[in-house]
Structure 1
């Protein structure tokens, strides 16, 4: 016998209980089960996507739609047959978009899948055509608003990675005899200046990528990391290592302006350095 947990009346099976619940107590049977059998929690899809399952036939489903086959391994023969059926099949753009949206939803819900895909692709070389296809697809998604680029977040992440010395294009390490610090220099020019700063007795102290300076570009706040802070003859000099040909680009001009304003406020000097300068830091 199955008792009603609202009025304690008993029934032979859930079918009779369901009818009683809906007719006498005016409660949907699914809501009754959630409240009295499942501690008030509606069941979620067993695949881990976090979505609520449907209720039909007097019970809750285990999965949403085809989520029950996620992770199941198909035999080589089954994969071959599926491939043959799909080969050459053209899908409507709307159908493609639905498939893409479903895949993205699935990946967003379960980051373990994303990690597994990333691990599997690590170290594999992509063809030029493959890279082009990825780029074109990404551009379309950005234009459609399906991928939102958080430029502020990216800028902050890049800034921190710079400060941590974590970019792969660092060409080497230099340990200063003057400061004792080990720096990941990113060009031969930076390495050359580090050696000059250590040798020059006028330099009391120097720091590599010492701080960040905010500036505005296209209405967004960006972050500029000067290359060096040099204490020379008792004065602080902020130094950027850059060839003259690159100093007047729009982005670099904005960085330079922000750095000069920062230096003016703090009583420092700002210098754009290249090897021909040597240790001539000006007045």
Structure 2
């Protein structure tokens, strides 16, 4: 099965060609690419995308900061969706991302799709501006790249759902990306790569915002990006928006991560398994 648009004859070279555009993007390294995938293949993924609200074993977020649905792992992937997700975790794509981003450490995929996989936002849903969790909860590897695949055909501007990239001071969105079909967004994840879909979705009741999310990791990261503390999603207020976000409640996992060394956490997890 052909996954990539035939106009991209050499995926690794394509990454090299786009490298300068990626690293020079504001407010942080990122890129948006249209028509990246074979349209027929991606149409199958979109057409087979399930209504996550009607399925078991789906994580539902319904609070001030986020109202969305997230499939756990690949259980609910369609056959074509599974093939695509596995391809996006394969050597050719990892090499493309390595060339695109210029990351020196070896990139590793996440076969568990922790926090990734199928995402769906219904009318009224949102995801406030945030920086992502920085460590994989099972491997403790460093999260470095997000790759988002949008699956929304005939998506109108009035529906909203823009993916927004914000500066460190949260004064403005440098980029607003409409989540249209066969558009991908790739960006480097750090403690200051603030992004989100902060305004409530206004699409018709029979529509939803669908995407496939892939995250990539390394064992270690540059000193300039180091944060000794593993953290969950960090929500931040947009400048001038009163009560934009709410402080997330402290969880048992947060407390444990604060006080238990990573090597001991790994040992405990092995014992539990």
Superposition TM-score tier, normalisation by shorter sequence: under 0.3
Q: Which has the higher strand share?
A: 2
Question: Looking at both structures, which has the greater relative contact order when contacts are Cα pairs under 8 Å and sequence separation is at least 6?
Answer: 2
Structure with bigger gyration radius: 1
Please give the TM-score of this superposition, normalised by the length of structure 2: 0.22
Please give the TM-score of this superposition, normalised by the length of structure 1: 0.21
